[in-house]
Amino acid sequence: MSNIGLNIGLRALLTSQSSLDVIGQNLANANTPGYSRQRVQLGSSGVIFRHGLGFGTGVDATMIGRSVDNLLAGRIVNEVSDLFRLDSRVSGLSEVESALGEPGGFGMSSSLSEFFLSASELSANANDSILRTGFLESARSLADGFRSTLSSLEGLRGDSARQADLTTTEINLLTERVANLNHEIRNQEAGGVPANSLRDDRDQVLRELSKLVDISYSEAGDGTVSVQTSGRLLVGQGGAVEMSTQLAADGSVEVLLGGSSEQLDVSGGKLAGLLSVQGGYLPKLFGQLDSFARDMIIEANRAHSTGIPQAGHMTRAVSEHTIADTDGDGALTDELLADAGLPFDLSTGTLRVNVRDLESGVLHSQEIAIDAESTTVGDLLAALSSVDGVGASLDGQGHVSIQAEAGFGFDFSGRLNDTPDAAGTFGSGHASLGTGAQGPFALADGDTIDMVGPAGAFSVSLDQGDFFEITEATASELADVLNANPDMQANGLRAVVVADRLFIQTEGSGATETFQVAGGTALASLGWTAGTTVTGADAGATVTVSGSYTGAGNDQFVFTPRTDGDIGTTAGLLVDVYDVDGNLVNTLDVGEGYLPGTELEVAEGVSVSFGFGTLSATENDAFSVDLVSDSDTADVLVALGIGGLFTGTGAEDLGVSEALLADPSLLNASTSGLSGDAGAILELLGLQYGGAESSGGGGLEAAFSNIVTELGFETQSAMSARDVEEYVVASLDQRRAELSGVNVDEELVEMMRFEQSFAAASRYISVINELNDSLLALI
């Protein structure tokens, strides 16, 4: 019995000592990251039967266990992965904001505001050479800023790719460490010894790994864990699988596992945050900036290309962009204009070309029709060359060149024709008779117009072959037939068209000029009376139009006198003004009391003045003024890059015309050609807050602000999510600390408890020894 007592005491002594050793280990690792509190698990020893009685043999230390919650550990790994993904994304987006100079107003927003501020200053004094230079320098600064910002962002993307590669190297080191710990744990626990410290080390490595990439893991019966990322094995029984990166064709980073070419979809950890910026947000931002720059080029060049330089005209214009031989036949002129490799789209519309005779000052305008589905490069060149005073050609590199003939200048503006009665159909010195009504005219094959001129009587016969459809003959077709007639030429007569009305006139002017419409079957359709004699005048009326058209759409004002009379003399002499639809716009009193040369306001920013002369409603006097709000509805100038402010096609190659920088007087500031006019600059300025079709009509500043705001929203959202995730991780860590961490106060209480157990066991052994001594003394 005494042997049993001694054995019980000794076991109690040893288990108390073991417990104190583990408590000491806990206290020593109270601040060790990832350490899990350990406890000696105690159990009663076996029973010995003697004399029919079962005697306990004391206590055994069965094992040293860890205080862990595996479900909690798994959740912590998941949340840590999300936290570091968000933290990495916040860091990346903050660097993007710094590259853009936002927030703070030191980046692109500031450059854009400075550009519009310079435009505003120039609009107040468009002829100031210093302001012109300042405006162009602000445009260059804006373009330089775009390219610089794009370069910084490209550098940032490259840095992110390198960081991603370094992160995979860290991941490979950690997965190799997990594989090694698996091996050590399996070997140790195969001998029946729990690998508590090794398991703590492995849990800590798994946590570190989750900071870099999303992982999930499961434990096998031998104590090893298999680790997966995005559903694919990262660490298994065979060891760690190597992770690597490669750059895709679009510059984004692809993550690969082992020898597989299948891209890994990383969803957590620092790596996911890097990829979300490098391969997600940055390409999107590049697209937004490029689209913005492209829209700015289109809108600014629309305004500038249809403006007028300081000289009032151009003498030469060369396209920035070149025609491409897209069909590979070696020829360029047969290319469809819309498919000629130009960087910007064309649409079906018209291009207005204004040509001024620099000696006489007479302005002639002609519209060129462009069909996006059929107009070729050759068609455009031919149409431009058909305009009196200019010629167009294609150089060897595919540049379109427009050249004015000597003594002429041209532009593509919507300017008002200040001398609209160049043909002399409104009180001029020519003998002139108009149709009154607009075409088309219901003529018939074989109809005639009989006339008497200075050379005698003659008749013009009309043939169906000269018309597309003679029953719907246009004024232009009829004028071509008359002008081709030898008798018309011999009699010094000509036919002109004004506002779709046909006029027959004498070539010369003066009171001696005369002709008669004697008869003919076509007269009824033309509204003429047989026997009408028309005589010229020694002093013809002059008409001057001024102002700048402010209407929203293209239009035409047609001016016709209501009665016959002398300007400034005849009482009640009125001039009616009609729009293109025949609606009466205004009626001007130019009779008694009107001082010839005085400007009269018509409508939509248009004014007109009349010199001395005689007007005739009987002879259907009329003149017209074309009103143009958009002189290039086809966008052909923008597509070719003719007369543009900006060069390039997007953010990467955005620049300012070198010709303008070299000579600021070439800046197209005006739309009317009037001194001090800044219509084109005002159109540019209007893009600041509205009118930018390509940007949805909200203005360029708003469009760029949307880009910056979206970036700020992305950054703030990531920050907010990170803050929430930090709280979640902190809460879970606190929970783990309560379950698995070392509480020094608790350990001290445990130490006192086992100290008492140790002392009690020692005392028990002493008592047993005393009893044994007493028994031996009795023997």
SS3 375: coil
If one compares 775 and 299, the residue with the highest pLDDT of the two is 299
Residue 2 has pLDDT above 70, yes or no: no
Looking at residue 1, its pLDDT comes to: 47
If you average pLDDT over residues 493-512, what whole number do you get? 96
Residue located via tokens 């936290």: 83
Cα 49 to chain center, whole Å? Answer: 92
Distance CA 265, CA 229 (A): 9
Looking at residue 748, its pLDDT comes to: 87
Which tens digit of pLDDT belongs to each residue from 4-28? 778 888 888 888 888 888 888 878 8
If you average pLDDT over residues 690-705, what whole number do you get? 75
Q: Where are the alpha helices (DSSP H) in 484-606?
A: 486-490, 523-526
Bridge partners of 532?
Answer: 517
Looking at residue 42, its pLDDT comes to: 80
Residue 184 has pLDDT above 50, yes or no: yes
45: confidence class by pLDDT, cuts 50, 70, 90: confident
Looking at every residue in the chain, the average pLDDT score rounds to 91
Nearest alpha carbon to residue 105 among 774, 701, 751: 701
Residue 363 has pLDDT above 70, yes or no: yes
φ, ψ of residue 603 in degrees (nearest 5): 180, 160
Distance CA 364, CA 132 (A): 29
Residue 399 has pLDDT above 60, yes or no: yes
Exposure on the CB side of residue 138, measured as CA atoms within 13 A: 20
The CA-atom distances, in angstroms, between 637 and each of 84, 411, 463, 687 are 52, 11, 40, 19
If you average pLDDT over residues 434-441, what whole number do you get? 93
Residue 779 CB burial class (10 angstroms; 0-12, 13-18, ≥19)? exposed
104: confidence class by pLDDT, cuts 50, 70, 90: low
Nearest alpha carbon to residue 755 among 12, 142, 4: 12
Residue 762 has pLDDT above 60, yes or no: yes
697: confidence class by pLDDT, cuts 50, 70, 90: low
Q: Provide the token pair at 109.
A: 């927003």
SS3 312: coil
Which tens digit of pLDDT belongs to each residue from 214-259? 999 998 989 899 999 998 999 998 899 999 999 999 999 999 998 8
Looking at residue 352, its pLDDT comes to: 96
Burial 21-40 (b: 16+ CB within 10 A, else e): ebbebbeebeeeebbbbbeb
Beta strands 646-647 and 655-656 are antiparallel
Residue 117 CB burial class (10 angstroms; 0-12, 13-18, ≥19)? middle
Q: Where are the alpha helices (DSSP H) in 567-696?
A: 636-640, 658-662, 679-686
Cα 498 to chain center, whole Å? Answer: 45
367: confidence class by pLDDT, cuts 50, 70, 90: very high
Q: Please give the single-letter amino acid code of residue 234.
A: L
Q: Provide the token pair at 695.
A: 């940007």
Cα 182 to chain center, whole Å? Answer: 53
Percentage of the chain exceeding pLDDT 90 = 73
Residue 764 has pLDDT above 60, yes or no: yes
Distance CA 463, CA 446 (A): 6
Residue 118 has pLDDT above 70, yes or no: yes
Looking at residue 17, its pLDDT comes to: 84
Q: Please give the single-letter amino acid code of residue 631.
A: S
Residue 266 has pLDDT above 90, yes or no: yes
DSSP state string for 24-66: HHHHHTTT-TT---EEEEEEE--EEEETTEEEE--EEEEEEEE
If you average pLDDT over residues 31-42, what whole number do you get? 81
DSSP state string for 727-763: HHHHHHHHHHHHHHS--HHHHHHHHHHHHHHHHHHHH
Q: What pTM did the predictor assign?
A: 0.83
Contact between 563 and 618 under an 8 Å Cβ cutoff? The reply is: no
Task: List all residues 6 or more positions away from 341 whose beta carbon is below 8 Å from its beta carbon.
Answer: 322, 323, 324, 326, 335
Contact between 404 and 410 under an 8 Å Cβ cutoff? The reply is: yes
Distance CA 735, CA 554 (A): 75
If you average pLDDT over residues 65-85, what whole number do you get? 89
Nearest alpha carbon to residue 434 among 287, 615, 278, 289: 615
Residue 434 has pLDDT above 80, yes or no: yes
Residue located via tokens 């009379």: 565
Distance CA 384, CA 390 (A): 7
Neighbours of 147 (CB within 10 A): 16
